[in-house]
Structure 1
């Protein structure tokens, strides 16, 4: 078929559905037909999928039948659920426009029979994940299988780019581009702050100076899609808030909102929170049994598939979910999105808002449900940031050596490699554009002989240089073991949960199950279950008759507030300091803010508030940088360490997204340190020895050892067991700890050790953001206040500390007594 004939069919196909072809879609078609690669940035539900997919079909019309057999288009998606949804969308359009094309999916859910068929012949278009693509590249026939590949499409690039999975994709693209330099590559993104860098990372390459070539085009769709952000403002806003104090008190307003719409997504930030909300809604509305559902990543795939299909068919009134439904699965019936608690980031909020009104021309609406009073401040800031489209940048990993080591073995399995050629190929991937010759030689030596410390163990000599100068994997068993470990997702150590009668429910943390005794009840999958026994990493349960149980826990830290949201919140406080309370959220928060002003001061973009208070517990220092939990942990530890160098002292630390508290029994002369100063004058805020002081102030070795478990697994040092015979968390931990100690004592220059420490600093402590925050604080005036009692902001920090204390007194009782005392003091 000619290009013009296919173009006419495409136009007719759109017209038959009453759809309009948007300008950005035609821009993608023109660029792709000209052989250009690029990045498409457009709103969720605006038609991005058809922009790139129909570009692939238009290109396919130019190719002769002889060349069109075999794989033509590779579609990479970050989630299996997205793969199934994308498959349905592509099949629907290709049936009318290119019936000769075959379309298939290859993910972890693909059956062995389908995999066998694909091994004989791949379909015209294949939808896959980064892990499954790497598995395909590990087969000796990979080059022949990809010989006819014409176009690669990467969905949800903003989701992949900032993770090791994105680096895995970069390396796979480098391999495929080496085989076919004319390959056309397009990526799709909806919420991205650093578009120019996103295009560079996608297209790879280097100009010799470490800068990306930035070839290709950037196409932006109409970003004026109407997004409505509002809030469910509590009837009674506490002037002395604490994290989670509203929580289920907002249950009735949430139910009232769900009642008004045909289909609603209720997002929570944690799996435990989703379980609690699902159970609470069902208890309040038992008549909704069967029409509301629960969805999170620990539930069994069949359960998640049932929920997703129920949403698509309009059979479910509400789904309580986590980030498992963040991405672009197309749920047209969804009319409304509720966000329980702060989304903690503008990009995440926009992404979730886009789950409603998921079609061109429809309005997307998200309603924020605060779980404490101060989240009204975040809600007000988020509304302004969304209007201004201030979206966070996605940071790209720099030279992760564990991913590189894994890739070297993958390529050695997939036909082998010559080191000089592969080095140039790897450097064409953006994350490795600055890879030095010494670092490359270390990686090569590590996979060839185990580096300096593992040379005596044959299983770590994973590649061998043959007589032709090609590195290959010499042992079938090593190859099999490597393929089972391909990927960069390191799942938490988990235990399968099954009924005694055989039905599978999902998985929970091994550490959680380890605390259960036979007969204990716990909440999981929206059901109260009774624990029976643990056998071979499987927890056997039965339905319980009681009403309450412990909430299942999953690993993971709380999401810190992003810089963009923090600055937006500080802007709202600046306006409030000027007497301007904009929007219902800030009006509701006015009583709290007025007490904070009366007893202390308001933190703003120009002012750092520092409070000193003495109580029966000791001496309290409260500081409010508004920089997020991770940065505040680093700042609090830094302050404590630096004061400790001047006098012997011990501090208790509490943190939240707004600030931190240092509590000591001994007094500190904070007045001299802070009074009459700007940030520039405070030695505690210095950046001269920041790295050294941060490493000294925290147990950096212990943190690095914990992070090394993930690095070791990705690098192929730790084997997690065969299917049906997984190693326990204790075994994996012991193995990684052994490697950590061996490298530390006998191979101190091992780059995997260096990487583990770097990831602790960059990801857990956010060292770059910590440095930037200190720079900002240098420019702020210090508002130092001696306070007689806890201010609203300080009270929230004190409660965070109470949570960590073991006490016979219930937290809620203690907090309630303190609130009564503070409310009495706050009366005129």
Structure 2
């Protein structure tokens, strides 16, 4: 029995859940573990009280003050760190415990950090980056020598990023310093929970347990439906028009979070809600990552104090900050994934026993399908897995220099430590030695340049002896990289605007794309600029924009295909009943596919010959698929294609008829030579070049600048581009070069998921139809082609004219 916890819960008028008591018992018996429980059920207290009970027991048994750091609590967000700090401090004050808690993030002052180092608190709440900064300090072993516990909060969030690799590497050193170290992870539900536990604790952990809370968390999902159904929808045309329907929801709720997928979308909704309801002034706020720290903190505190009625936000408020007054959540547009949607739903009713209420506001008619698909997926526990990074040598190289900056490291010992992590379980000694070579003399190719001779070997230890190198490295610690924008310029130098680098990286010279109302041909990519000229061709690729980068997850697409199959059976369901006229229109004009069928539509319009395909696999997979299908068709006869896609399907448009019949279609989706066709159809070299810039930054090949004097993105790209070319031309087996290509295939192209999609479709029945006009499924993809040709107003006019013509048919 945990008397501290029982007393405090009784003081608060609460009753502990079984999973909380189970966690206290496990910690008392010396176990490490992963705790999985729904949002808002008291996961923090389940672990926290186990830790402070352990401390008090040890303190009483030793009959003297326990010195040094006892617990390290790692969180992915500064805001979450502060919330945990506040919650833990309240416990210590309520129970008058001699247990001091410190907070260390990027906002912590230098004097406070120095004080923590000199007189360590019993618990330190911090971020992955701050731990590595501590490991870069002299005497870090003394600072951590009495450490008993490490807690990793929101482990599911960290695990799917290189910040998770930072945690793995830090734990490998802390476990070496403290063989009896207890490690606890706190996680919301993910699809690969067992793997998450194994990655955090390691396969050889002697006493490990996975505790799952059986707390029923009721989630109510309600789709906001328009007054009338648009049978020919297009992305974005509906959302803001439903703004009037959320005003009563805001009014009847104590406070509401309104989630959008992008910062620009958040700004638009915030302004529009104020425009249509001026009375919201003073009680509605905006929160996203580009806002200043002071403003974000004010919004978080105002939410906590119940001052605000509504906050329009992005993923900046996804994670477990405890805003208890929030009782309603609204999701604008597709959340793109089941776990993300449920995470946001859990922001409401964020306390034990409460019901989470979330409204889904679709931005076009077909998105209404996602409302019912999300309910189906949630009911059937279709929760996405987080893919962990493996063999992230850029992070390992950074970590080596971190240890060299502090007290130095023994290569043999560090190699053994690194091998215990999931990320580097497969590392060979030769690969490890290549990393050593890179930090000591710049690898095989850069040894002539002194700036890459960062680390020296002294008395068996690898150390940094240059103060300049040490200072630069401490400023560069971390694995967060920002998305870069590229300028679009004419050959003559005229500036047209900026577009996302990841989109440009997929293009080859001579490829055409629409931008700023013009059809442009890419001439070349130079530094951080896409050099273009006007094209007389009528075909071009439509840019994908921020927010469109998140594709539908595989589980959500599975759920959508399942619900679409139910549409044929006319299953009673609020959303499906509302959408029935659209499905009937699709059937009348073309065909409504079953789950084991792929629909292909061939349509001729004045724009040319269209082939629409509907795999329902998400935008990223469709983008790769479309390129491969176009490449394979090009082997039959030469074609000039324009490609467009959305989350439900993709389009190939040509000025000549595209020969697709059932036999050819089966060949187009064949798994045979798929890897070669991917390499031939997609500009993986340019994509890898862009990915390499981030890798080079993390590994320390390029210095990203001092605070307030960051190196310009174009210079970073130019410097990393030089290294990429050198490695590509003279050292093809370079670890960082190979890593760049692997990350492109695993994360940007979602190669595994795309291969599964080809495999699934290769066993499906191909249904080809020849509609005389655009269908409800085809229209939203067709509309994407016009998005860059027109402003929003003229685009809507154009779409309405086309829809008017279609409804006559």
- Same fold, TM exceeding 0.5? yes
Distance 2:263 2:382 in 1: 28
Find the residue that maps to 1:78 and give its secondary structure.
coil
1:480 to 458, 471, 484: 471
Matched, 1:15 2:37: no
SS at match of 1:654: strand
- Kindly state the Cα deviation for residue 245 of structure 1 after the two structures are TM-superposed: 0.8
Question: In the superposition, relative to structure 1, how do residues 607 and 162 fare at CA in structure 2: closer, same or farther (>3 Å)?
Answer: same
Moved more, 36-45 or 724-733: 724-733
Query: For each residue in 1:128-184, what CA deviation from the matched residue of structure 2 results, as whole angstroms up to 9, or x when unmatched?
Result: 000001110111211000001000111101101111000110111111001111100
Does the CA contact (< 8 Å) of 1:205 and 1:429 recur in 2?
A: no
Counterpart residue number, 2:514: none
CA distance in 1, matches of 2:778, 2:664: 18
The residue number in structure 1 matching 2:773 is 789
State which of 195, 200, 209 in structure 2 corresponds to 1:202.
200
Which string of whole-angstrom CA distances, capped at 9 and with x for unpartnered residues, describes residues 597-645 of structure 1?
A: 1122223321111111112111111111111000000100000111112
Deviation at 1:814, TM superposition (A): 1.3
Q: CA deviation at 1:96?
A: 3.1
Q: Alignment length, in residue pairs?
A: 754
Which residue of 2 is the match for residue 575 of structure 1? 566
Structure 2 partner of 1:362: 354
Corresponding position: 1:102 with 2:125: no
The answer on whether the counterparts of 2:34 and 2:187 sit within 8 Å (CA) in structure 1 is yes
Deviations 1:317-345 (A, max 9, x none): 00000000000000000010000001111
Give the Cα–Cα distance (whole angstroms) in 2 for the partners of residues 479 and 188 of structure 1. Answer: 34
Map 1:164-175; keep pairs closer than 5 Å.
Answer: 164-175=162-173
Q: Any conservation in 2 of the 1:233–1:584 contact (CA below 8 Å)?
A: no
Task: Give 2:661's match in structure 1, choosing from 666, 671, 687.
Answer: 671
Question: Measured at CA, do residues 32 and 494 of structure 1 come closer, stay the same or move farther in structure 2, by a change above 3 Å?
Answer: farther
Q: How far apart are residue 744 of structure 1 and its match?
A: 1.7
Q: Is the 8 A contact 2:348 2:356 kept in 1?
A: yes
- State how far apart, in whole Å, the 1-side matches of 2:608 and 2:545 are: 35
Per the alignment, residue 226 of structure 2 pairs with: 234
| Aligned partners of 1:465 and 1:472 also within 8 Å | yes
> Counterparts of 2:4 and 2:546 in 1: how far apart (Å)?
51
> CA deviation digits over 1:453-484, x for unaligned, max 9?
11011221221111x21111121111111110
Question: RMSD between aligned alpha carbons?
Answer: 2.0
Contact 1:412/1:463 (8 A) holds in 2: yes
Query: 1: CA distance between counterparts of 2:207 and 2:68?
Result: 28
User: CA-to-partner distance for each residue in 1:393-415, whole Å, 9 max, x for gaps?
Assistant: 11111111111111111122232
| Residues 556 and 491 of structure 1, relative CA distance in 2, 3 Å threshold | farther
Describe the shift of the 1:181–1:114 C-alpha distance in structure 2 as closer, same or farther (beyond 3 A).
Answer: same
Mapped pair 1:563 → 2:547: no
Indicate the residue corresponding to 2:209 in structure 1: 217
The structural deviation recorded for 1:9 is 3.0
Q: Secondary structure at the match of 1:61?
A: helix
1:521 is matched with none
- Pick from 670, 673, 698 the counterpart of residue 714 of structure 1: 698
Q: CA separation in 2, counterparts of 1:263 and 1:737? A: 49
**TM-score, length of structure 2 as denominator length:** 0.91
Secondary structure, counterpart of 1:311 in structure 2:
helix
Instruction: Give the Cα separation in 1 of the matches to 2:11 and 2:284.
Output: 35
1:691-738 deviations in whole A, cap 9, x for unaligned?
A: 221121011111111111111111111212112222222222222222
Corresponding position of 1:614: 604
Cα offset, 1:191, TM superposition: 2.5
Corresponding residue for residue 24 of structure 2: 29
Shift of 1:65: 5.6
Looking at structure 2, the residues matched to 689 and 462 of structure 1 have their Cα atoms a distance apart, in angstroms, of 44
1:620, 1:661 within 8 Å by CA — same for their partners in 2? Answer: yes
Q: Distance in 2 between the 1:647 and 1:748 partners?
A: 34
Match of 1:780 among 764, 775, 783: 764
Equivalent residue in structure 2 for 1:413, among 397, 405, 409: 405
Post-superposition Cα deviations, 1:385-432, rounded to whole Å, max 9, x if no partner, equal 112221001111111111111111112223211111111100111111
Say if 2:383 is the partner of 1:391: yes
Give the Cα–Cα distance (whole angstroms) in 1 for the partners of residues 584 and 163 of structure 2.
Answer: 47
Matching of residues 9-158 of structure 1 within 5 Å? 9-63=4-58, 64=62, 66=64, 68-97=66-95, 99-158=97-156
Displacement over 4 Å in runs of 4+: 510-513, 553-557, 806-809
Q: Distance in 1 between matches of 2:654 and 2:732?
A: 37
Give the TM-score normalised by structure 1: 0.89
User: 1:683 & 1:76 partners in 2: Cα distance?
Assistant: 50
Distance verdict in 2 for CA 1:272–1:807, change over 3 Å = closer
1:62 is paired with a residue whose SS is helix
Match of 1:624 among 614, 617, 621: 614
Q: Secondary structure at the match of 1:410?
A: helix
SS in 2 for 1:389: coil
Q: Is the 8 A contact 1:57 1:98 kept in 2?
A: no
Per-residue deviation at 1:436? 1.9
Could you tell me which runs of 5 or more consecutive residues in structure 1 were left unpaired when the two chains were aligned.
Answer: 207-212, 496-509, 514-552, 676-681
